[in-house]
Amino acid sequence: MQPLHFCNLNCWLPSPPSSPVGHLLKAPSSLSLATMTPSSLLLGACRTLVIFQLLACCLLPLGAQSQSQEFSLQMEPQDPVLPAGRSLLVNCSTSCPRPELITLETSLPKEVIDEDQGWTAFRLSNVTGDSKIICSAFCNGSQMTSNSSITVYRFPELVELDLLPPWQPVGENLTLQCHVWGGAPRAQLTLVLLRGEEELSRQRAVGEPAEGTATVLAGRGDYGAKFTCRAELDLRPRGLGLFQNTSTPRQLRTFVLPMAPPRLVAPLSLEVGTSWPVDCTLDGLFPVSEAQVQLALGDQMLNPAVTIHGDTLRATATVTARADQEGAQEIVCNVTLGGESREARANLTVFTFLGPILNLSETNVTEGSKVNVSCMAGPRVQVMLDGDLARAPGEPAQLQVTATEGDDGRYFFCNAILEVDGEVLHRNVTVQLRVLYGPKIDPAKCPQRLAWKDRTSHILQCEARGNPVPQLQCLHEGSRREVPIGTPFLVKLHHNGTYHCQAVSPRGTYTLLVVMHVQDRNSFVVSILIGVLVILGVVTAIVALICIFGKQTRSGIYHVNQQHTSLPLRPVQPKEAVELEQS
């Protein structure tokens, strides 16, 4: 009994070049290869590769087996590469003169399109995955086989770079992740991560989906940088090209936000209805143009004016206190950049400062009337009226006066004091009192006796007071001639006499007598001459007496001193003679 052996059916059967069918198959084969250009490749779904098992086992006589080894079985094309979903023409041919049962073993849909002595052509349809095909034939009772591998390639269905964070802090690591779905053969598929045109990493595609990662240190220069992921299918070793598919670019935004809070300048207190500027500044921002700033008083959003200088942002707004905000409030400045924020807060007390209100029972009163004065203000406000404090904050200060002439034009002073957060605030108000009283002329300001000379210029100074202000005029007692008051005038002899100076107002009349004595210029000269003559007469008399007296003394008696006989006689001078006579 002949021993049994298993026949290997994994072989391709090339057709002889002289075979007419071989010429028929060459055209489709070349057509199939031409369709594997990048412009005509179609993406197809991947199927599971099926490995064919041994199909048959034949018992061959040992003598026949040795004879069959002299002939061969060939398959065309060998190890083809084609896009997924395409068809493939396969030719199995043998040199055996009388071959039997030429077949093609495959899991793919197939059909015989032509055959002849020594060869058979098959069409494989819808090739979607890598596969092995086997040509088999019998020659002289022995089985011959030839096998080949079909490689199917497909482009990635989707290449996607994961979303980047909206903002990336400068100085921190950023991890990029890329995913690729589909693509075959995986051994020739590579994932490349790029920043612009700069290659960051290159990795083989592994798994489904394939994933590639890269880590970069974010810097200011990465602001606005575009990152992409590229899938490269390299079929150049198989005689085709390098095929690339790039993801949608992702743009990165980096930022710098200092840890320090903004500098906030705001008032400590603010009265209802008043306004005050608020200033908020933060340095070291990048990019400063992307920063957002908000200013608020409590729940009231302010409308700041923002200015930028270098990496410094400054916001200025005007805050106006409302009545419903009275009490403790906060002014908040918030600067936001890159999804993070820095905040500064300042306490503000909104207060109401009512008053002071100063009231007089009457502002125009007659002399001797009673006037009630009161000063008041709002709650918590201490008032002081003309230096006198009220008994307690919130209570009024009062006083009563009897109007006199001296109170006319008097100002009453009311001071309101309010303490807000340790700060003492003052507010003042004054009211003037008018007292109605009759006209009066002050003798100290209107002299009653005047001595002036004729044809000299003088001013009659005279003042009257009263409320209402009186009319003042000075009239000559006899002629009723009026003399000017307060202005220069030329004094003449007819101004001599007594004048009635009268102050007249609706509240009465007041009269003061003024005597004006005017001296004539000629009488003055005569007086001078008389005086001069009198003086000359007196001088003349004195000189005459002296002369007479001098002659009498020179004719006097001479005395001889007997004790001194040796001394000569000398005349006695007039002065000495007088002294002697007196003795």
Amino acid making up residue 444: A
Judge whether 564 lies within some domain. no
From 506, 521, 536, the end of a domain falls on 521
| Lowest pLDDT segment from 30-34, 170-174, 193-197, 342-346 | 30-34
Contacts 24+ apart (CB under 8 A), 578-582: 578/553, 580/556
Q: Are residues 267 and 216 in the same domain?
A: no
Q: In the structure, what pLDDT confidence band is assigned to residue 523 with cuts at 50, 70 and 90?
A: low
Q: Are residues 168 and 238 in the same domain?
A: yes
Q: Are residues 191 and 141 in the same domain?
A: no
Judge whether 529 lies within some domain. no
Residue 194's DSSP bridge partners are 199, 228
Say if CB 96 and CB 132 are below 8 A apart: no
Average pLDDT across the chain, whole number: 82
Three-class SS of 21-80? HHHHHHHHHHHHHHCCCCCCCCCCCCCCCCCCCCCCEECCCHHHHHHHCCCCEEEECCCC
Amino acid 527: pLDDT: 66
Q: Among 553, 548, 483, 493, which Cα is nearest to 517's?
A: 493
- Dump the DSSP string for 267-294: -SEEETT-EEEEEEEE-S-BTGGG-EEE
Q: Are residues 137 and 92 in the same domain?
A: yes
pLDDT over 60 at 181, yes or no:
yes
Convert the pLDDT of each residue in 448-458 to its tens digit.
Answer: 999 999 999 99
Q: In the structure, what pLDDT confidence band is assigned to residue 142 with cuts at 50, 70 and 90?
A: confident
Token digits of residue 4: 């049994």
pLDDT over 80 at 359, yes or no:
yes
Distance CA(126)–CA(105), nearest Å, equals 16
* Count of C-beta atoms within a 10 Å radius of residue 500: 14
pLDDT over 80 at 289, yes or no:
yes
pLDDT over 50 at 327, yes or no:
yes
pLDDT over 90 at 231, yes or no:
yes
- Strands (DSSP E) found in 312-463: 312-320, 327-337, 340-351, 357-360, 364-366, 370-376, 382-385, 388-389, 397-402, 410-420, 423-441, 449-453, 456-459
pLDDT over 70 at 342, yes or no:
yes
- Strands (DSSP E) found in 321-396: 327-337, 340-351, 357-360, 364-366, 370-376, 382-385, 388-389
Backbone angles phi, psi at 165, to 5 degrees: -65, 145
Per-residue b or e along 450-464, where b marks 16 or more CB atoms closer than 10 Å to that residue's CB = bebebeeebebebeb
Q: What CATH number is attached to the domain comprising 240? A: 2.60.40.10
Distance CA(40)–CA(43), nearest Å, equals 10
Amino acid 39: pLDDT: 32
Q: Are residues 137 and 178 in the same domain?
A: no
pTM: 0.55
Judge whether 563 lies within some domain. no
Say if CB 377 and CB 355 are below 8 A apart: yes
- Tell me the Cα Rg of the chain: 68
Say if CB 567 and CB 561 are below 8 A apart: yes
Distance CA(453)–CA(496), nearest Å, equals 10
Q: Are residues 179 and 220 in the same domain?
A: yes
Q: Are residues 177 and 237 in the same domain?
A: yes
Say if CB 128 and CB 46 are below 8 A apart: yes
Say if CB 498 and CB 511 are below 8 A apart: no
Local structure of 231: helix, strand or coil: strand
The CA distances from residue 542 to 414, 430, 551, in Å, are 82, 79, 15
Burial zone of 469 (CB within 10 Å; 0-12 exposed, 13-18 middle, 19+ buried): exposed
Distance CA(183)–CA(205), nearest Å, equals 9
Of the spans 8-12, 482-486, 548-552, which averages the highest pLDDT?
Answer: 482-486
| Lowest pLDDT segment from 67-76, 268-277, 471-480 | 67-76
Question: What is the percentage of the chain residues whose pLDDT exceeds 70?
Answer: 81
239: DSSP letter: T
Burial zone of 537 (CB within 10 Å; 0-12 exposed, 13-18 middle, 19+ buried): exposed
Amino acid 408: pLDDT: 92
Q: Among 259, 266, 262, which Cα is nearest to 346's?
A: 266
Q: Are residues 386 and 449 in the same domain?
A: no
Token digits of residue 6: 């298993």
From 298, 328, 351, the end of a domain falls on 351
Distance CA(388)–CA(401), nearest Å, equals 14
Judge whether 533 lies within some domain. no
Question: What is the percentage of the chain residues whose pLDDT exceeds 90?
Answer: 54
Q: Are residues 430 and 380 in the same domain?
A: yes
Distance CA(239)–CA(206), nearest Å, equals 24
Amino acid 513: pLDDT: 93
Q: Which domain holds residue 79?
A: 73-152
Convert the pLDDT of each residue in 50-105 to its tens digit.
Answer: 233 333 333 333 434 444 457 888 888 988 888 888 889 999 998 888 888 889 99
The CA distances from residue 331 to 266, 298, 303, 346, in Å, are 8, 6, 13, 5
Say if CB 383 and CB 356 are below 8 A apart: yes
Q: Which residues contact 53 (CB under 8 A, 6 or more apart)?
A: none
Q: In the structure, what pLDDT confidence band is assigned to residue 9 with cuts at 50, 70 and 90?
A: very low
| Lowest pLDDT segment from 33-37, 234-238, 413-417, 552-556 | 33-37
Q: What is the mean pLDDT of residues 472-489?
A: 91
pLDDT over 70 at 46, yes or no:
no
Judge whether 1 lies within some domain. no
Report the domain count for the chain: 5
Q: Are residues 275 and 326 in the same domain?
A: yes
Q: Are residues 246 and 176 in the same domain?
A: yes
Judge whether 220 lies within some domain. yes
Judge whether 576 lies within some domain. no
Q: In the structure, what pLDDT confidence band is assigned to residue 294 with cuts at 50, 70 and 90?
A: very high
pLDDT over 80 at 570, yes or no:
no
Q: Are residues 396 and 371 in the same domain?
A: yes
From 436, 454, 487, the end of a domain falls on 436
| Lowest pLDDT segment from 16-25, 172-181, 487-496 | 16-25
Judge whether 14 lies within some domain. no
Per-residue b or e along 484-493, where b marks 16 or more CB atoms closer than 10 Å to that residue's CB = ebeeeeebee
549: DSSP letter: H
| Lowest pLDDT segment from 180-184, 428-432, 531-535, 569-573 | 569-573
